[in-house]
Amino acid sequence: MLARLGSLVLCAFQLGLAFTIASPRPLVLWHGLGDSHASRGMLDFQDLIKEVHPGIFIHSVWVHEDANKDRDAGFYGNVDVQLDVVFRQLSSVPELEHGFDAIGFSQGESSGMFLRAYVERYNYPRTYNLITFGSQHLGIADIPECGTYDFLCKSARRIILSAVYGKWAQENLIQASFSRTMAHQTDVQSKAQYFRDPTRYNDYLVANMFLTDINNEIPGQRNATYQENLKSLENLVLIIFSEDKTVIPKESAWFGYDEITDDAVIVPMRQQPIYTEDWIGLKELDETGRIVFGVCEGEHMQLNGCWREYVERYVGSVV
Ligand SMILES: *[C@@H]1O[C@H](CO)[C@@H](O)[C@H](O)[C@H]1NC(C)=O
């Protein structure tokens, strides 16, 4: 009798174990500028993912737990400080301790970049599949369009384009944090982190602190850890929006970019120095078939269900 009870307990234990083992790998979502970790859109998206992968644990990254402050952080925060907050957050969530898949998902375009920075700089707990939607991996060469007759917009845009390195560089080199009183400059600042003028490439190399760093773009300052960490991904899934007018050029989502000094030509990833000289591990990822080039038809972040096939394939593997 006792023996039978014992085997019943053992059986229940094994079932429990089997259940724990056979659950989908957790997912980390990161929203971007102008959204928050608890917005309607983020919550709806989580529900849809849970339909695809029942029982999946999803952690939506926050920089401030208060949803309103969280939205502001996208605009006002210093990226390096935010990344550190997020690293400590992810490493303190017990469900994530064995690793996760990650999606940069947002109306803005930075979350994929932040997640890539997390992988390169920390990756503890580790990331398996990283999916980025319409990210500006090699930067943006232009600030999105103004209407044809919107002259106010056009002059503002011209000012932004001419001031971007000077002001932004000074503020960042002298003091590494953005002030809330500079709210009117936030758009410049948020764009400036990714602005990589092909006709003023040297100014960019000197002034830009974030993109040059995570792309290991500056000779003599390349960090081998970034490369090791990125290469440890199972898959790097890069999704482009076919009609993207927010990320210019849209090919930045695939690590393509305007040719430096000749912005009429788009140079694809495999011909970019970041790849040919393998600054961050893209070459090895690609040669082992671990870079996935995905397309969503339409404008920036018009997902229209096209996320589904990537979430089915690269999220929530049973582990
Ligand atoms: C390289 O990156 C790692 C991870 O972020 C960091 O710990 C290390 O200090 C960096 N090395 C240098 C030389 O900056």
Q: CA–CA separation, 155 vs 157, rounded Å?
A: 5
Q: Which of 84, 121, 210 to mutate to test the pocket of ligand 1 (most atoms within 8 A of CB)?
A: 121
**Residue 194 region by backbone torsions, left for phi larger than 0, else alpha for psi between -120 and 50, else beta:** alpha
| Residue among 60, 106, 110, 252 flagged as catalytic | 106
Q: CA–CA separation, 251 vs 266, rounded Å?
A: 8
* Ligand 1 centroid to residue 224 C-alpha, Å: 8
CA within 13 Å, CB half, 18: 6
pLDDT at 179 over 50: no
Best CA proximity match to 315, nearest among 104, 136, 116, 93: 104
- Taking only the tens place, the pLDDT of each residue in 14-23 is 554 545 557 8
* Ligand 1 centroid to residue 215 C-alpha, Å: 14
Structure-token match 């990822």, residue found: 285
- Taking only the tens place, the pLDDT of each residue in 80-114 is 877 888 899 999 999 999 999 999 876 555 788 88
pTM: 0.82
Q: How confident is the model at residue 118 (pLDDT cuts 50, 70, 90)?
A: very high
**Ligand 1 pocket residue status of 223, Cβ below 6 Å:** yes
| Residue among 59, 244, 252, 258 flagged as catalytic | 244
User: Catalytic annotation on 300?
Assistant: yes
Q: CA–CA separation, 255 vs 268, rounded Å?
A: 7
Q: What is the mean pLDDT of residues 30-37?
A: 64
User: Catalytic annotation on 244?
Assistant: yes
